[in-house]
Amino acid sequence: MTKRIVAFRRLKESQLDQLRHEFHVDYFERLDSADDPAFRHALRQAHGLVGAGLRITPEMLDDAPRLEAIASISVGYDNYPIDELNRRGILLCNTPDVLTETTADTGFLLIMATARRAIELAEFIKRGDWQESIGDAQFGSDVHGKTLGMIGMGRIGAAIARRGALGFGMKVLYSNASPKPALDAELGAEHRDMDALLQESDFVCVTVPLTAETERLIGQREFARMKSSAIFVNIARGKVVDESALIDALNQGHIHAAGLDVFEQEPLPDDSPLPHMANVVALPHIGSATHETRTAMAQRAVDNILLALKGERPISLVNESAWNG
Ligand code: DGY
């Protein structure tokens, strides 16, 4: 019997061909809602899913009795109910490694753009306000030589830290579940508890995954501990931060500015003040969004699902217990 796949993110023709060579593919180039009747119908027969940006609920799994594997086109897997997947023996695969450097570029872009006020000052020119030499009112803050505090030191955190230490001569501090002696040696990085990191850092950059433990990890208490000159950068997930506490901290001058690629609600609701604040650089979740990297991520997901549905171990497996169980 030919297995069936539901693909719910845009894939290249060559990637679709690879899948169609092995499986029957129901392809939704753009899926606006998980309630789309054609999608729900396809789900009922699916052995595999490939896609991203869709919250998969236990109820959806109830409607997908044949499902064996999901290949997410993302490194983050907070959209998936891991315990339910484990219970049902459904493999979950993600796309680490191929997006590390691109996402770190985005992190550093936010550090630079926020410190040097690049977006705000580009708008200043567009408005025709550049009528005389700029002065104090347009000055920003240095990045080189400052202290970069990384909350989370996984692959992406380490890639940002490397840019800071080796490219910009920054002192790197990090708070992480465990110290990373190899990075300490490579970058002169120093492990700190969270409070010490918040107090000492000029830039505080969040890269932890969203889990039950990290939800709202950064709130009023944490912003109160940062320097008033601190710049806060989030490229992890919006829900790691209490967004209203962030808005208060920015408005009340507890911190200087923020660079944000992720938000509690995405797309940002129309009434969010964040994109309109002069001391905020807000981006529409572009972390890994380059042509090269999104193609590589989709290819990793295709490779993962091909292996998983043939009973072979996928390249990047999230839930070992479903594989072992
Ligand atoms: C991921 O891969 O989890 C990213 O957030 C998508 O850009």
Mean pLDDT of all residues in 283-312: 98
Do both 120 and 78 map to the same domain? Answer: no
Do both 132 and 253 map to the same domain? Answer: yes
Return the ∠ at Cα 214 (arms to 210 and 216), rounded to 5°: 100
The domain containing residue 233 runs over which residues?
100-282
Closest CA to 70 of 49, 53, 95, 41: 49
Q: Tokens representing 286?
A: 């572009």
Please give all residues whose beta carbon lies within 6 A of any atom in ligand 1, as ranges: 74-76, 99, 287-288
Do both 91 and 118 map to the same domain? Answer: no
Is the pLDDT at 253 greater than 90? The verdict is yes
pLDDT band, residue 199 (cuts 50/70/90): very high
At 32 the pLDDT is 83
- Nearest-CA residue for ligand 1 atom 6 is 74
Do both 45 and 186 map to the same domain? Answer: no
At 41 the pLDDT is 97
Do both 167 and 134 map to the same domain? Answer: yes
Closest ligand 1 atom to Cα of 285: 7
Dump pLDDT digits (tens) for 110-151: 999 999 999 999 999 999 999 999 999 999 999 999 999 999
- Nearest-CA residue for ligand 1 atom 4 is 74
Do both 151 and 198 map to the same domain? Answer: yes
Closest CA to 286 of 267, 258, 262, 259: 262
The identity of residue 86, as a single letter, is N
Q: Tokens representing 282?
A: 């807000």
Mean pLDDT of all residues in 194-216: 98
Taking the centre of ligand 1 as the mean of its atom positions, its distance from the CA of residue 133, in whole angstroms, is 41
Average pLDDT, the chain: 97
Do both 305 and 276 map to the same domain? Answer: no
Do both 161 and 60 map to the same domain? Answer: no
Mean pLDDT of all residues in 221-237: 98
92 and 80 in contact (C-beta within 8 Å)?
yes
- Count of residues making up the chain: 325
CATH of residue 8 = 3.40.50.720
Q: How far is CA 317 from CA 84, 91, 115, in A?
A: 16, 7, 38
- Nearest-CA residue for ligand 1 atom 3 is 76
Do both 28 and 69 map to the same domain? Answer: yes
Do both 104 and 87 map to the same domain? Answer: no
Taking the centre of ligand 1 as the mean of its atom positions, its distance from the CA of residue 181, in whole angstroms, is 27
Do both 156 and 179 map to the same domain? Answer: yes
Is the pLDDT at 325 greater than 90? The verdict is no
Taking the centre of ligand 1 as the mean of its atom positions, its distance from the CA of residue 93, in whole angstroms, is 13
Do both 147 and 235 map to the same domain? Answer: yes
| Catalytic annotation, residues | 237, 266, 285
Dump pLDDT digits (tens) for 165-188: 999 999 999 999 999 999 999 999
Mean pLDDT of all residues in 154-165: 98
Mutate to test the pocket of ligand 1, among 94, 99, 283, 294 (most ligand atoms within 8 A of CB): 99
- Nearest-CA residue for ligand 1 atom 1 is 74
Is the pLDDT at 295 greater than 90? The verdict is yes
Total domain count for the chain? Answer: 2
